[in-house]
């Protein structure tokens, strides 16, 4: 049986994040990817130049069309753009009962461009987060969702994970990539308790799409039948390796992508 995962997210015309990063990740991890596009962006490694949300009803129809035909085993949700789209996605998820949902609450692009306004963030909190099996905010997103300052210590990250879990998701993964220090630490809070995930921080500017890649890697592992905790551990290892290999790629003039196919493509000579 072929493992199938569905990504519900925006399109990145530069290919580093969003739907493009999700489908690359699914493919790299041996999973067939389907998609429902929530927004079109005109962007590249330097930033987002324009954003065009897809009509909310059409987003829902994409999800329902996939669900009627494909045996979707996991769903990843990324950029949603508007409150109406958030509500449409929540409605569309009803066509996939029992399927695990990984929600990456994308609010700001790596370039700093705002992708979700305050009103839509409240809709995200109340309508969609309770539907998630796993919520995967980075440090700024966790702070924004809670209306607090950004966590600066692991204790504060754990406290914010606890507070976010009160919003209704099955589990929370607070990602520490925006922190400081030699190591990047993520905190997973699930039904088993708290798990600390650590990796050496990589000195590269090519991290565009890291959050999209991590959440879609978790979804891919879930689609293959992994437990949530094992899926998160495997996804962390995959993303870390993709960041380590990012400088093998020479894409664009700004923040380039991570190397989704690091395990499949031959190593490229340094430039």
Decide if pLDDT at 23 tops 60.
Answer: yes
Look up tokens 């290999």; give the residue. 245
| pLDDT tens string 158-181 | 999 999 999 999 999 999 876 666
pLDDT of residue 179: 61
User: Domains along the chain?
Assistant: 4-248 (3.40.1190.20)
The tokens describing 93, both together, are: 């998820």
Decide if pLDDT at 137 tops 70.
Answer: yes
Look up tokens 């031959």; give the residue. 266
CA distance 128 to 111: 25
Q: What is the dihedral angle through the alpha carbons of 172, 238, 80, 64, rounded to the nearest 10 degrees?
A: -100
Decide if pLDDT at 117 tops 60.
Answer: yes
Q: How far is the CA of 47 from the CAs of 78, 114, 271, in angstroms?
A: 18, 11, 24
> Would you say 124 and 78 are in contact if contact means Cβ atoms under 8 Å apart?
no
Mean pLDDT for the chain overall: 93
pLDDT of residue 110: 62
Give Cα 133 to chain centroid, integer Å.
13
Catalytic residues: 175, 207, 209-212
| pLDDT tens string 25-75 | 999 999 999 999 999 999 999 999 999 999 999 999 999 999 999 999 999
Instruction: Residue 115: name the closest of 94, 93, 144 by CA.
Output: 144
- The whole-number average pLDDT for the span 122-150 is 95
Instruction: Residue 77: name the closest of 139, 4, 129 by CA.
Output: 129
pLDDT of residue 177: 75
Neighbours of 191 (CB within 10 A): 8
Decide if pLDDT at 270 tops 60.
Answer: no
Phi, psi for residue 73 in degrees, rounded to 5: -105, -10
């Amino acid at each position: 049986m072929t493992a199938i995962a569905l990504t519900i997210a925006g399109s990145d015309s530069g290919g580093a994040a969003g739907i493009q990063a999700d489908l690359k990740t699914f493919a790299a991890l041996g999973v067939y990817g389907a998609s429902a596009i929530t927004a079109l962006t005109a962007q590249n490694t330097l930033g987002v130049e324009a954003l065009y949300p897809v009509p909310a009803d059409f987003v829902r129809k994409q999800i329902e069309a996939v669900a009627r035909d494909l045996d979707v085993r996991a769903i990843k949700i990324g950029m949603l753009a508007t409150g109406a789209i958030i509500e449409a996605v929540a409605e569309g998820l009803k066509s996939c009962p029992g399927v695990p949902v990984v929600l990456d609450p994308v609010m700001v692009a790596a370039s700093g461009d705002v992708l979700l306004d305050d009103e839509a963030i409240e809709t995200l909190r109340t309508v969609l987060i309770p539907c998630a099996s796993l919520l995967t905010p980075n440090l700024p997103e966790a702070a924004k969702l809670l209306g607090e300052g950004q966590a600066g210590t692991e204790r504060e990250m754990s406290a914010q994970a606890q507070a976010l879990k009160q919003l209704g998701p099955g589990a929370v993964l607070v990602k520490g990539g925006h922190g400081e220090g030699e190591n990047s630490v993520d905190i997973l809070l699930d039904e088993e308790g708290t798990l600390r995930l650590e990796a050496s921080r990589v000195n590269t500017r090519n991290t565009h799409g890291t959050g999209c890649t991590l959440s879609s890697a978790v979804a891919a592992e879930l689609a293959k039948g992994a437990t949530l905790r094992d899926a998160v551990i495997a996804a962390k290892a995959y993303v870390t390796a993709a960041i380590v290999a990012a400088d093998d790629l020479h894409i664009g003039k700004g923040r380039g992508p991570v190397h989704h196919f690091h395990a499949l493509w031959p190593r490229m000579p340094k430039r």
